[in-house]
Structure 1
Amino acid sequence: MSESVIADFVATFDSNVLRTTDPVKGRVLLSEKRLVLAVGDNDKLPVPLTSIFDVAVGQVPDELDGFFDATVTVAFRKNDKRFVAAIEAPDDKIEKFSNVLFKALLNGTDMTVKHPARVGGRVTDAEFSAAKLFLKPKQVEFRNDEETVAIRLAAVTEFDQTKRRIAGTKRPVLDVKHMPRGDAMLTQVTTDSPRKMSLLGRYLRLEYSDLMAELKDLTLTEDEKELLVAVYSGAGNKGMSLPQIIGKDPTEVTMLLNDLEDEELVVDASDGTKLTPKGQVLVNRHLEDINA
Protein backbone atom coordinates (compact mmCIF):
# COMPACT_ATOMS: atom_id res chain seq x y z
CA MET A 1 0.00 0.00 0.00
CA SER A 2 1.76 3.13 -1.22
CA GLU A 3 -0.36 5.65 0.70
CA SER A 4 0.01 6.28 4.43
CA VAL A 5 -1.52 3.56 6.63
CA ILE A 6 -3.76 4.82 9.45
CA ALA A 7 -4.72 1.41 10.88
CA ASP A 8 -2.91 -1.92 10.80
CA PHE A 9 -3.86 -4.87 13.02
CA VAL A 10 -4.46 -8.63 13.02
CA ALA A 11 -8.08 -9.80 13.00
CA THR A 12 -10.35 -12.61 11.93
CA PHE A 13 -12.46 -11.78 8.91
CA ASP A 14 -14.75 -13.21 6.32
CA SER A 15 -15.92 -11.94 2.95
CA ASN A 16 -17.77 -13.48 0.05
CA VAL A 17 -15.05 -12.05 -2.21
CA LEU A 18 -12.08 -13.86 -0.62
CA ARG A 19 -11.05 -17.26 -1.94
CA THR A 20 -11.65 -19.02 1.38
CA THR A 21 -15.16 -20.04 2.45
CA ASP A 22 -14.39 -19.96 6.19
CA PRO A 23 -13.39 -17.09 8.51
CA VAL A 24 -9.62 -16.64 8.48
CA LYS A 25 -7.01 -14.66 10.40
CA GLY A 26 -5.05 -11.98 8.60
CA ARG A 27 -4.07 -8.30 8.52
CA VAL A 28 -6.47 -5.39 8.29
CA LEU A 29 -4.90 -2.28 6.75
CA LEU A 30 -6.63 1.06 6.33
CA SER A 31 -5.42 4.15 4.51
CA GLU A 32 -7.27 7.33 3.57
CA LYS A 33 -8.08 5.70 0.22
CA ARG A 34 -8.74 2.02 0.79
CA LEU A 35 -9.33 -0.87 3.19
CA VAL A 36 -7.27 -4.02 2.58
CA LEU A 37 -7.92 -7.48 4.04
CA ALA A 38 -4.80 -9.61 3.55
CA VAL A 39 -4.36 -13.36 4.06
CA GLY A 40 -0.65 -14.02 3.59
CA ASP A 41 1.04 -12.41 0.58
CA ASN A 42 -1.17 -13.69 -2.20
CA ASP A 43 -4.82 -13.37 -1.13
CA LYS A 44 -5.68 -9.70 -0.64
CA LEU A 45 -9.00 -7.92 -0.87
CA PRO A 46 -8.61 -4.17 -1.57
CA VAL A 47 -11.78 -2.17 -0.92
CA PRO A 48 -11.70 1.47 -2.10
CA LEU A 49 -13.34 3.70 0.51
CA THR A 50 -15.44 5.23 -2.26
CA SER A 51 -17.11 1.82 -2.75
CA ILE A 52 -18.17 1.44 0.92
CA PHE A 53 -21.83 2.31 1.40
CA ASP A 54 -22.52 1.00 4.92
CA VAL A 55 -20.68 0.18 8.14
CA ALA A 56 -22.31 -1.74 10.99
CA VAL A 57 -20.63 -2.19 14.37
CA GLY A 58 -21.59 -5.12 16.56
CA GLN A 59 -23.93 -6.67 13.99
CA VAL A 60 -22.87 -10.12 12.80
CA PRO A 61 -24.22 -11.50 9.50
CA ASP A 62 -26.58 -14.45 10.10
CA GLU A 63 -24.24 -16.92 8.41
CA LEU A 64 -21.44 -15.97 10.83
CA ASP A 65 -23.49 -15.95 14.03
CA GLY A 66 -21.60 -18.09 16.54
CA PHE A 67 -18.24 -17.45 14.86
CA PHE A 68 -17.86 -13.72 15.57
CA ASP A 69 -18.46 -11.52 18.61
CA ALA A 70 -17.10 -7.94 18.43
CA THR A 71 -17.27 -7.00 14.77
CA VAL A 72 -17.27 -4.30 12.15
CA THR A 73 -19.23 -5.32 9.05
CA VAL A 74 -18.43 -3.34 5.90
CA ALA A 75 -20.79 -3.34 2.92
CA PHE A 76 -19.26 -2.34 -0.42
CA ARG A 77 -19.72 -2.54 -4.18
CA LYS A 78 -17.39 -4.42 -6.52
CA ASN A 79 -18.05 -4.87 -10.24
CA ASP A 80 -21.59 -3.48 -9.78
CA LYS A 81 -22.36 -6.15 -7.16
CA ARG A 82 -22.82 -5.79 -3.41
CA PHE A 83 -20.58 -7.63 -0.94
CA VAL A 84 -19.93 -7.61 2.79
CA ALA A 85 -16.81 -8.21 4.87
CA ALA A 86 -17.07 -8.95 8.60
CA ILE A 87 -14.03 -8.16 10.75
CA GLU A 88 -13.65 -9.52 14.27
CA ALA A 89 -11.13 -8.41 16.92
CA PRO A 90 -11.11 -7.58 20.67
CA ASP A 91 -13.61 -4.91 21.74
CA ASP A 92 -11.01 -2.15 22.17
CA LYS A 93 -9.56 -2.72 18.68
CA ILE A 94 -13.02 -2.83 17.08
CA GLU A 95 -13.98 0.42 18.80
CA LYS A 96 -10.79 2.20 17.68
CA PHE A 97 -10.97 0.80 14.15
CA SER A 98 -14.63 1.74 13.66
CA ASN A 99 -13.91 5.32 14.77
CA VAL A 100 -10.92 5.61 12.43
CA LEU A 101 -12.89 4.05 9.57
CA PHE A 102 -15.82 6.47 9.95
CA LYS A 103 -13.38 9.40 10.06
CA ALA A 104 -11.64 8.18 6.89
CA LEU A 105 -15.02 7.85 5.17
CA LEU A 106 -16.58 11.13 6.32
CA ASN A 107 -14.00 13.73 7.37
CA GLY A 108 -13.85 16.63 4.93
CA THR A 109 -17.19 15.80 3.28
CA ASP A 110 -18.81 18.82 1.61
CA MET A 111 -22.03 19.60 3.47
CA THR A 112 -24.78 22.19 3.33
CA VAL A 113 -25.87 23.35 6.78
CA LYS A 114 -28.66 25.52 8.17
CA HIS A 115 -27.89 26.53 11.75
CA PRO A 116 -29.91 27.23 13.69
CA ALA A 117 -32.99 26.49 11.61
CA ARG A 118 -35.15 26.86 14.70
CA VAL A 119 -34.62 28.00 18.30
CA GLY A 120 -37.34 26.85 20.64
CA GLY A 121 -40.53 27.31 18.64
CA ARG A 122 -39.14 30.20 16.58
CA VAL A 123 -38.11 29.63 12.97
CA THR A 124 -34.97 31.65 12.20
CA ASP A 125 -33.98 33.46 9.02
CA ALA A 126 -30.75 31.42 8.71
CA GLU A 127 -29.82 30.23 5.22
CA PHE A 128 -28.19 26.99 4.09
CA SER A 129 -24.43 27.49 3.73
CA ALA A 130 -21.48 25.34 2.66
CA ALA A 131 -19.36 23.62 5.31
CA LYS A 132 -16.98 20.69 5.79
CA LEU A 133 -17.86 17.76 8.06
CA PHE A 134 -15.45 16.52 10.75
CA LEU A 135 -15.98 13.82 13.37
CA LYS A 136 -14.75 14.44 16.90
CA PRO A 137 -15.11 12.33 20.07
CA LYS A 138 -18.80 12.42 21.02
CA GLN A 139 -19.60 15.25 18.61
CA VAL A 140 -19.71 16.30 14.95
CA GLU A 141 -18.47 19.61 13.56
CA PHE A 142 -19.45 21.55 10.44
CA ARG A 143 -16.75 24.10 9.56
CA ASN A 144 -16.49 26.98 7.13
CA ASP A 145 -14.56 30.25 7.08
CA GLU A 146 -17.16 32.04 9.20
CA GLU A 147 -17.88 29.56 12.00
CA THR A 148 -17.73 26.03 13.37
CA VAL A 149 -21.04 24.45 14.28
CA ALA A 150 -20.34 21.76 16.88
CA ILE A 151 -23.10 19.35 17.92
CA ARG A 152 -22.44 17.27 21.03
CA LEU A 153 -24.23 13.96 20.75
CA ALA A 154 -25.08 14.05 24.48
CA ALA A 155 -27.17 17.15 23.70
CA VAL A 156 -29.16 15.51 20.88
CA THR A 157 -32.83 14.73 21.48
CA GLU A 158 -33.80 13.37 18.06
CA PHE A 159 -32.58 12.61 14.52
CA ASP A 160 -35.01 12.66 11.63
CA GLN A 161 -34.47 12.42 7.87
CA THR A 162 -36.80 14.54 5.75
CA LYS A 163 -36.95 16.01 2.22
CA ARG A 164 -36.65 19.75 1.72
CA ARG A 165 -36.31 22.05 -1.27
CA ILE A 166 -32.86 23.68 -1.33
CA ALA A 167 -31.87 26.01 -4.19
CA GLY A 168 -34.80 24.72 -6.21
CA THR A 169 -33.99 21.02 -5.74
CA LYS A 170 -35.68 18.60 -3.36
CA ARG A 171 -33.00 16.88 -1.29
CA PRO A 172 -32.78 14.52 1.71
CA VAL A 173 -32.03 16.53 4.85
CA LEU A 174 -31.01 15.31 8.29
CA ASP A 175 -32.87 17.22 11.01
CA VAL A 176 -30.88 17.25 14.25
CA LYS A 177 -32.81 18.41 17.32
CA HIS A 178 -30.47 19.24 20.18
CA MET A 179 -30.11 21.30 23.35
CA PRO A 180 -26.60 22.80 23.34
CA ARG A 181 -27.22 25.02 26.39
CA GLY A 182 -30.51 23.63 27.60
CA ASP A 183 -32.42 25.50 24.88
CA ALA A 184 -34.15 23.47 22.15
CA MET A 185 -32.54 23.98 18.74
CA LEU A 186 -32.84 22.49 15.25
CA THR A 187 -29.91 22.16 12.86
CA GLN A 188 -30.42 20.86 9.31
CA VAL A 189 -27.65 19.24 7.26
CA THR A 190 -27.43 17.67 3.83
CA THR A 191 -24.87 16.62 1.23
CA ASP A 192 -24.93 15.89 -2.50
CA SER A 193 -23.80 12.29 -1.86
CA PRO A 194 -26.58 9.88 -0.78
CA ARG A 195 -23.83 7.42 0.20
CA LYS A 196 -22.18 9.92 2.55
CA MET A 197 -25.60 10.91 3.92
CA SER A 198 -26.35 7.28 4.73
CA LEU A 199 -22.94 6.76 6.38
CA LEU A 200 -23.36 9.90 8.48
CA GLY A 201 -26.78 8.69 9.63
CA ARG A 202 -25.30 5.32 10.53
CA TYR A 203 -22.47 6.95 12.51
CA LEU A 204 -24.80 9.26 14.43
CA ARG A 205 -27.20 6.46 15.33
CA LEU A 206 -24.30 4.28 16.48
CA GLU A 207 -22.72 6.97 18.66
CA TYR A 208 -26.05 8.10 20.04
CA SER A 209 -27.09 4.55 20.99
CA ASP A 210 -23.75 4.13 22.80
CA LEU A 211 -24.44 7.27 24.82
CA MET A 212 -27.91 6.07 25.76
CA ALA A 213 -26.47 2.68 26.72
CA GLU A 214 -24.33 4.44 29.33
CA LEU A 215 -27.54 5.27 31.21
CA LYS A 216 -28.03 1.58 32.01
CA ASP A 217 -25.00 1.69 34.31
CA LEU A 218 -26.00 4.96 35.98
CA THR A 219 -27.39 4.65 39.52
CA LEU A 220 -29.17 7.61 41.13
CA THR A 221 -30.28 8.19 44.70
CA GLU A 222 -33.94 8.81 45.49
CA ASP A 223 -33.10 12.48 46.21
CA GLU A 224 -31.47 12.83 42.77
CA LYS A 225 -34.49 11.21 41.09
CA GLU A 226 -36.85 13.53 42.98
CA LEU A 227 -34.82 16.54 41.90
CA LEU A 228 -34.80 15.43 38.26
CA VAL A 229 -38.59 15.03 38.30
CA ALA A 230 -38.92 18.50 39.87
CA VAL A 231 -36.80 20.01 37.08
CA TYR A 232 -38.83 18.07 34.51
CA SER A 233 -42.01 19.58 35.98
CA GLY A 234 -40.68 23.10 35.42
CA ALA A 235 -39.40 23.78 38.93
CA GLY A 236 -36.02 24.85 37.56
CA ASN A 237 -37.43 27.87 35.77
CA LYS A 238 -36.68 31.34 37.06
CA GLY A 239 -39.06 32.45 39.79
CA MET A 240 -39.54 28.91 41.15
CA SER A 241 -37.49 27.59 44.09
CA LEU A 242 -36.22 24.02 43.81
CA PRO A 243 -35.35 23.79 47.54
CA GLN A 244 -38.90 24.77 48.53
CA ILE A 245 -40.57 22.43 46.07
CA ILE A 246 -38.63 19.32 47.11
CA GLY A 247 -38.26 20.34 50.77
CA LYS A 248 -34.47 20.35 50.90
CA ASP A 249 -31.87 22.77 52.21
CA PRO A 250 -30.57 25.09 49.43
CA THR A 251 -26.98 23.96 50.02
CA GLU A 252 -27.99 20.30 49.69
CA VAL A 253 -29.93 21.04 46.50
CA THR A 254 -26.90 22.83 45.04
CA MET A 255 -24.70 19.80 45.77
CA LEU A 256 -27.27 17.47 44.17
CA LEU A 257 -27.49 19.70 41.09
CA ASN A 258 -23.70 19.75 40.78
CA ASP A 259 -23.66 15.93 40.86
CA LEU A 260 -26.40 15.74 38.21
CA GLU A 261 -24.58 18.29 36.06
CA ASP A 262 -21.38 16.23 36.31
CA GLU A 263 -23.37 13.27 34.94
CA GLU A 264 -24.67 15.52 32.10
CA LEU A 265 -28.27 15.11 33.27
CA VAL A 266 -29.06 18.80 33.92
CA VAL A 267 -27.72 22.07 32.57
CA ASP A 268 -28.06 25.77 33.41
CA ALA A 269 -30.07 27.30 30.55
CA SER A 270 -30.96 30.92 29.87
CA ASP A 271 -34.24 30.53 31.79
CA GLY A 272 -33.18 28.25 34.62
CA THR A 273 -32.16 24.64 35.20
CA LYS A 274 -33.15 22.23 32.40
CA LEU A 275 -32.85 18.53 31.73
CA THR A 276 -30.34 17.39 29.12
CA PRO A 277 -31.52 14.73 26.65
CA LYS A 278 -29.94 12.06 28.88
CA GLY A 279 -31.76 13.51 31.89
CA GLN A 280 -35.02 13.51 29.90
CA VAL A 281 -34.57 9.81 29.08
CA LEU A 282 -33.91 8.98 32.75
CA VAL A 283 -36.97 10.88 33.96
CA ASN A 284 -39.17 9.24 31.34
CA ARG A 285 -37.97 5.81 32.44
CA HIS A 286 -38.48 6.69 36.11
CA LEU A 287 -42.04 7.92 35.50
CA GLU A 288 -42.80 4.79 33.44
CA ASP A 289 -41.65 2.62 36.38
CA ILE A 290 -43.85 4.60 38.78
CA ASN A 291 -46.91 4.37 36.55
CA ALA A 292 -46.40 0.71 35.64
Structure 2
Amino acid sequence: MSERVIADFVGEFFLTDMDRDDPVSGRIVMSPKRLVLVSDDRKVTIPTDAMFDIAVGHVPPEMRAFFSDSVTIAYRDGNQRRMAVIEGDSDTVDKFATVLFKAQLNGQEATVQHPARRGGRVVDSPVTKARLAVDTGTLSFSGPDTEFTIELATVTDFEKESRTLAGETRPALSVSHVPEMTTLVSVVALPSERVMNLLGRYFRLEYSDIVEGLEDISLSDDEVQVLVAIYSAGEGVDPLDVVSADASQTTMVLNGLREKDLIADSDVGTVLTPKGRVVVNSRLEEVNA
Protein backbone atom coordinates (compact mmCIF):
# COMPACT_ATOMS: atom_id res chain seq x y z
CA MET A 1 0.00 0.00 0.00
CA SER A 2 1.65 3.20 -1.21
CA GLU A 3 -0.81 5.44 0.65
CA ARG A 4 -0.22 6.73 4.17
CA VAL A 5 -0.77 3.86 6.60
CA ILE A 6 -2.82 4.76 9.68
CA ALA A 7 -3.23 1.24 11.10
CA ASP A 8 -1.21 -1.94 10.67
CA PHE A 9 -1.51 -4.96 12.97
CA VAL A 10 -1.92 -8.73 13.01
CA GLY A 11 -5.25 -10.13 14.18
CA GLU A 12 -8.12 -12.35 13.11
CA PHE A 13 -10.97 -11.54 10.77
CA PHE A 14 -14.09 -13.06 9.31
CA LEU A 15 -15.99 -11.99 6.19
CA THR A 16 -19.60 -12.92 5.45
CA ASP A 17 -18.69 -14.28 2.00
CA MET A 18 -15.89 -16.57 3.24
CA ASP A 19 -16.27 -20.27 2.45
CA ARG A 20 -15.62 -21.26 6.07
CA ASP A 21 -17.29 -20.83 9.44
CA ASP A 22 -14.33 -19.69 11.55
CA PRO A 23 -12.07 -16.60 11.35
CA VAL A 24 -8.61 -16.54 9.80
CA SER A 25 -5.40 -14.96 11.06
CA GLY A 26 -3.98 -12.18 8.95
CA ARG A 27 -2.75 -8.65 8.62
CA ILE A 28 -5.04 -5.65 8.91
CA VAL A 29 -3.76 -2.53 7.14
CA MET A 30 -5.59 0.75 6.71
CA SER A 31 -5.03 4.04 4.90
CA PRO A 32 -7.42 7.01 4.92
CA LYS A 33 -8.97 5.64 1.70
CA ARG A 34 -9.21 1.89 2.26
CA LEU A 35 -8.98 -1.07 4.62
CA VAL A 36 -7.05 -4.15 3.43
CA LEU A 37 -7.39 -7.58 5.06
CA VAL A 38 -4.73 -10.11 4.06
CA SER A 39 -4.46 -13.80 5.00
CA ASP A 40 -2.39 -16.61 3.48
CA ASP A 41 -4.91 -17.23 0.70
CA ARG A 42 -7.05 -14.10 0.60
CA LYS A 43 -6.84 -10.34 0.18
CA VAL A 44 -9.89 -8.12 0.56
CA THR A 45 -10.00 -4.35 0.05
CA ILE A 46 -12.82 -2.31 1.59
CA PRO A 47 -12.98 1.36 0.50
CA THR A 48 -13.56 3.76 3.37
CA ASP A 49 -16.53 5.33 1.61
CA ALA A 50 -18.18 1.90 1.23
CA MET A 51 -18.46 1.49 5.02
CA PHE A 52 -21.87 2.43 6.39
CA ASP A 53 -21.73 1.11 9.95
CA ILE A 54 -19.07 0.44 12.58
CA ALA A 55 -19.85 -1.38 15.81
CA VAL A 56 -17.35 -1.92 18.62
CA GLY A 57 -17.83 -4.94 20.86
CA HIS A 58 -20.93 -6.16 19.01
CA VAL A 59 -20.40 -9.56 17.42
CA PRO A 60 -22.96 -11.31 15.19
CA PRO A 61 -24.54 -14.24 17.09
CA GLU A 62 -23.03 -16.85 14.80
CA MET A 63 -19.50 -15.56 15.52
CA ARG A 64 -19.65 -15.14 19.30
CA ALA A 65 -17.79 -18.40 19.87
CA PHE A 66 -14.76 -16.95 18.06
CA PHE A 67 -14.61 -13.23 18.93
CA SER A 68 -14.42 -11.15 22.11
CA ASP A 69 -12.65 -7.78 21.57
CA SER A 70 -13.79 -6.91 18.09
CA VAL A 71 -14.83 -4.29 15.56
CA THR A 72 -17.63 -5.12 13.11
CA ILE A 73 -17.71 -3.18 9.84
CA ALA A 74 -20.75 -3.21 7.55
CA TYR A 75 -19.96 -2.19 3.98
CA ARG A 76 -21.31 -2.25 0.45
CA ASP A 77 -19.71 -4.34 -2.27
CA GLY A 78 -21.52 -3.34 -5.44
CA ASN A 79 -25.18 -4.05 -4.74
CA GLN A 80 -24.37 -6.41 -1.88
CA ARG A 81 -24.14 -5.62 1.80
CA ARG A 82 -21.29 -7.42 3.50
CA MET A 83 -19.72 -7.53 6.94
CA ALA A 84 -16.19 -7.90 8.30
CA VAL A 85 -15.49 -8.79 11.93
CA ILE A 86 -11.95 -7.96 13.11
CA GLU A 87 -10.42 -9.05 16.41
CA GLY A 88 -7.24 -8.09 18.25
CA ASP A 89 -6.23 -7.47 21.83
CA SER A 90 -8.33 -4.95 23.75
CA ASP A 91 -5.98 -1.96 23.40
CA THR A 92 -5.44 -2.62 19.69
CA VAL A 93 -9.17 -2.87 19.02
CA ASP A 94 -9.86 0.39 20.88
CA LYS A 95 -7.15 2.23 18.90
CA PHE A 96 -8.30 0.69 15.62
CA ALA A 97 -11.91 1.75 16.26
CA THR A 98 -10.76 5.33 16.87
CA VAL A 99 -8.73 5.26 13.65
CA LEU A 100 -11.75 3.99 11.72
CA PHE A 101 -14.02 6.76 12.96
CA LYS A 102 -11.41 9.45 12.40
CA ALA A 103 -10.87 8.25 8.82
CA GLN A 104 -14.62 8.56 8.22
CA LEU A 105 -15.30 11.84 10.00
CA ASN A 106 -12.21 14.06 10.02
CA GLY A 107 -12.43 16.80 7.41
CA GLN A 108 -16.13 16.32 6.69
CA GLU A 109 -17.92 19.57 5.85
CA ALA A 110 -20.66 20.04 8.42
CA THR A 111 -23.66 22.35 8.46
CA VAL A 112 -23.94 23.66 12.00
CA GLN A 113 -26.02 25.95 14.17
CA HIS A 114 -24.24 26.88 17.38
CA PRO A 115 -25.96 27.42 19.63
CA ALA A 116 -29.51 26.68 18.53
CA ARG A 117 -30.70 27.03 22.14
CA ARG A 118 -29.14 28.68 25.18
CA GLY A 119 -30.43 27.91 28.66
CA GLY A 120 -33.70 26.59 27.26
CA ARG A 121 -34.29 29.59 24.97
CA VAL A 122 -34.18 29.46 21.17
CA VAL A 123 -31.27 31.49 19.79
CA ASP A 124 -31.27 32.99 16.32
CA SER A 125 -27.74 31.83 15.51
CA PRO A 126 -26.83 31.64 11.82
CA VAL A 127 -26.51 28.30 10.05
CA THR A 128 -22.92 28.02 8.82
CA LYS A 129 -20.42 25.62 7.27
CA ALA A 130 -17.50 24.18 9.24
CA ARG A 131 -14.97 21.36 8.99
CA LEU A 132 -15.25 18.58 11.56
CA ALA A 133 -12.21 17.34 13.48
CA VAL A 134 -12.53 14.34 15.79
CA ASP A 135 -10.22 13.74 18.71
CA THR A 136 -10.44 11.69 21.88
CA GLY A 137 -13.39 13.06 23.84
CA THR A 138 -14.00 16.06 21.57
CA LEU A 139 -15.69 17.18 18.37
CA SER A 140 -14.27 20.43 16.96
CA PHE A 141 -15.79 22.58 14.22
CA SER A 142 -13.91 25.29 12.34
CA GLY A 143 -15.13 27.52 9.53
CA PRO A 144 -15.02 31.10 8.26
CA ASP A 145 -17.95 32.14 10.46
CA THR A 146 -17.78 29.79 13.44
CA GLU A 147 -15.38 27.86 15.61
CA PHE A 148 -16.35 25.74 18.61
CA THR A 149 -15.60 22.47 20.37
CA ILE A 150 -17.97 20.03 22.05
CA GLU A 151 -16.34 18.13 24.90
CA LEU A 152 -18.16 14.86 25.39
CA ALA A 153 -17.66 15.13 29.15
CA THR A 154 -19.96 18.19 29.10
CA VAL A 155 -22.76 16.51 27.12
CA THR A 156 -26.04 15.81 28.90
CA ASP A 157 -28.08 14.49 25.97
CA PHE A 158 -28.02 14.00 22.21
CA GLU A 159 -30.49 12.79 19.62
CA LYS A 160 -30.83 12.37 15.89
CA GLU A 161 -33.68 14.36 14.36
CA SER A 162 -34.81 16.04 11.16
CA ARG A 163 -33.90 19.72 11.01
CA THR A 164 -34.43 22.43 8.41
CA LEU A 165 -31.02 24.02 7.91
CA ALA A 166 -30.27 26.54 5.17
CA GLY A 167 -33.68 25.85 3.64
CA GLU A 168 -33.16 22.07 3.44
CA THR A 169 -34.62 19.39 5.71
CA ARG A 170 -31.97 16.85 6.61
CA PRO A 171 -30.97 14.43 9.38
CA ALA A 172 -29.00 16.18 12.10
CA LEU A 173 -27.56 15.51 15.53
CA SER A 174 -28.87 17.76 18.29
CA VAL A 175 -26.39 17.89 21.18
CA SER A 176 -27.14 19.34 24.63
CA HIS A 177 -23.97 20.28 26.50
CA VAL A 178 -22.87 22.52 29.35
CA PRO A 179 -19.43 23.98 28.56
CA GLU A 180 -19.70 26.43 31.45
CA MET A 181 -22.77 27.06 33.61
CA THR A 182 -25.39 27.38 30.86
CA THR A 183 -26.87 24.57 28.78
CA LEU A 184 -26.32 24.94 25.04
CA VAL A 185 -27.88 22.95 22.22
CA SER A 186 -25.74 22.65 19.09
CA VAL A 187 -27.06 21.17 15.83
CA VAL A 188 -24.76 19.32 13.45
CA ALA A 189 -25.59 17.91 10.00
CA LEU A 190 -23.13 16.06 7.76
CA PRO A 191 -23.33 15.73 3.97
CA SER A 192 -24.82 12.23 3.78
CA GLU A 193 -26.96 9.80 5.74
CA ARG A 194 -23.99 7.41 5.80
CA VAL A 195 -21.62 9.75 7.63
CA MET A 196 -24.42 10.99 9.89
CA ASN A 197 -24.97 7.39 11.01
CA LEU A 198 -21.25 6.97 11.64
CA LEU A 199 -21.12 10.21 13.65
CA GLY A 200 -24.00 8.93 15.77
CA ARG A 201 -22.16 5.64 16.29
CA TYR A 202 -18.98 7.45 17.33
CA PHE A 203 -20.89 9.69 19.70
CA ARG A 204 -22.57 6.75 21.40
CA LEU A 205 -19.31 4.83 21.69
CA GLU A 206 -17.34 7.68 23.27
CA TYR A 207 -20.21 8.86 25.43
CA SER A 208 -21.02 5.37 26.72
CA ASP A 209 -17.52 5.07 28.15
CA ILE A 210 -18.28 8.10 30.34
CA VAL A 211 -21.84 7.38 31.40
CA GLU A 212 -21.43 3.64 32.00
CA GLY A 213 -22.65 2.88 35.46
CA LEU A 214 -24.11 6.35 36.14
CA GLU A 215 -27.59 4.85 36.43
CA ASP A 216 -26.52 3.12 39.64
CA ILE A 217 -25.16 6.26 41.31
CA SER A 218 -27.33 7.87 43.99
CA LEU A 219 -26.37 11.24 45.42
CA SER A 220 -27.35 13.03 48.61
CA ASP A 221 -28.11 16.75 48.63
CA ASP A 222 -24.74 17.35 50.33
CA GLU A 223 -22.90 15.45 47.59
CA VAL A 224 -24.65 17.42 44.86
CA GLN A 225 -23.81 20.68 46.67
CA VAL A 226 -20.11 19.79 46.83
CA LEU A 227 -19.95 18.69 43.19
CA VAL A 228 -21.61 21.87 41.97
CA ALA A 229 -19.37 23.99 44.24
CA ILE A 230 -16.22 22.42 42.75
CA TYR A 231 -17.60 22.90 39.23
CA SER A 232 -18.64 26.51 39.82
CA ALA A 233 -15.43 27.61 41.55
CA GLY A 234 -13.18 25.95 38.99
CA GLU A 235 -11.39 22.65 39.18
CA GLY A 236 -8.26 22.58 41.30
CA VAL A 237 -9.70 24.61 44.18
CA ASP A 238 -9.81 23.31 47.74
CA PRO A 239 -13.46 22.25 48.28
CA LEU A 240 -13.17 23.12 51.97
CA ASP A 241 -12.69 26.75 50.90
CA VAL A 242 -15.84 26.94 48.77
CA VAL A 243 -18.36 24.74 50.57
CA SER A 244 -20.25 26.54 53.35
CA ALA A 245 -20.57 23.52 55.63
CA ASP A 246 -18.76 21.92 58.53
CA ALA A 247 -15.25 20.91 57.46
CA SER A 248 -15.45 17.40 58.93
CA GLN A 249 -18.82 16.77 57.23
CA THR A 250 -17.47 18.09 53.92
CA THR A 251 -14.43 15.81 54.22
CA MET A 252 -16.75 12.81 54.67
CA VAL A 253 -18.73 13.86 51.60
CA LEU A 254 -15.53 14.25 49.57
CA ASN A 255 -14.37 10.77 50.54
CA GLY A 256 -17.70 9.36 49.36
CA LEU A 257 -17.43 11.18 46.04
CA ARG A 258 -13.92 9.77 45.52
CA GLU A 259 -15.22 6.26 46.15
CA LYS A 260 -17.89 6.86 43.48
CA ASP A 261 -15.18 8.06 41.05
CA LEU A 262 -16.82 11.49 40.70
CA ILE A 263 -13.83 13.50 41.94
CA ALA A 264 -10.10 12.85 42.01
CA ASP A 265 -6.98 14.44 43.49
CA SER A 266 -4.50 15.91 41.02
CA ASP A 267 -1.35 18.01 41.15
CA VAL A 268 -3.50 21.16 41.14
CA GLY A 269 -6.02 19.97 43.73
CA THR A 270 -9.44 18.33 43.63
CA VAL A 271 -10.94 17.93 40.15
CA LEU A 272 -14.10 16.45 38.70
CA THR A 273 -13.65 13.20 36.81
CA PRO A 274 -15.37 12.90 33.38
CA LYS A 275 -18.10 10.93 35.14
CA GLY A 276 -18.39 13.72 37.73
CA ARG A 277 -18.75 16.33 35.00
CA VAL A 278 -21.56 14.37 33.38
CA VAL A 279 -23.36 14.11 36.74
CA VAL A 280 -23.03 17.86 37.41
CA ASN A 281 -24.05 18.76 33.87
CA SER A 282 -27.13 16.56 34.17
CA ARG A 283 -28.10 18.39 37.37
CA LEU A 284 -27.61 21.77 35.68
CA GLU A 285 -29.72 20.57 32.75
CA GLU A 286 -32.54 19.76 35.17
CA VAL A 287 -32.29 23.24 36.70
CA ASN A 288 -32.25 24.97 33.30
CA ALA A 289 -35.12 22.93 31.84
TM over 0.5: yes
Residue 15 of structure 2 aligns with an amino acid whose one-letter code is S
The answer on 1:6 being equivalent to 2:6 is: yes
The answer for the alignment partner of 2:223 in structure 1 is 228
The answer for the alignment partner of 2:97 in structure 1 is 98
Q: Distance in 1 between matches of 2:280 and 2:143?
A: 32
The answer for the alignment partner of 1:270 in structure 2 is none
SS in 1 for 2:271: helix
The answer for the alignment partner of 1:28 in structure 2 is 28
Q: Is the 8 A contact 2:154 2:281 kept in 1?
A: no
* Aligned pairs for 1:126-165 within 5 A: 126-165=125-164
1:118 positional shift? 1.0
Match of 1:261 among 267, 271, 275: 271
Q: Distance in 2 between matches of 1:233 and 1:143?
A: 31
The answer for the alignment partner of 1:271 in structure 2 is none
TM-score, length-scaled by structure 2: 0.80
Q: Distance in 2 between matches of 1:179 and 1:281?
A: 9
Q: Is the 8 A contact 1:19 1:43 kept in 2?
A: no
Q: Distance in 2 between matches of 1:8 and 1:20?
A: 25
* Aligned pairs for 1:1-292 within 5 A: 1-40=1-40, 42-213=41-212, 225-230=220-225, 243-244=243-244, 247-249=245-247, 256=254, 259=264, 261-264=271-274, 276-279=277-280
Q: Is the 8 A contact 2:58 2:72 kept in 1?
A: yes
1:280 positional shift? 5.7
Unpaired stretches in structure 2, ≥5 consecutive residues: 234-240, 258-262, 265-269, 285-289
**1:111–1:237 Cα change, 3 Å:** closer
Residue 14 of structure 2 aligns with an amino acid whose one-letter code is D
Deviations 1:237-280 (A, max 9, x none): 99xx9845xx4239957x949856332466xxxxxxxxx42346
Identity of matched residues, %: 39
Q: Distance in 2 between matches of 1:261 and 1:141?
A: 24
Q: Is the 8 A contact 1:243 1:250 kept in 2?
A: no
Deviations 1:149-176 (A, max 9, x none): 1100010011111112223221111100
**1:178–1:78 Cα change, 3 Å:** same
Count of aligned residue pairs for this structure pair: 263
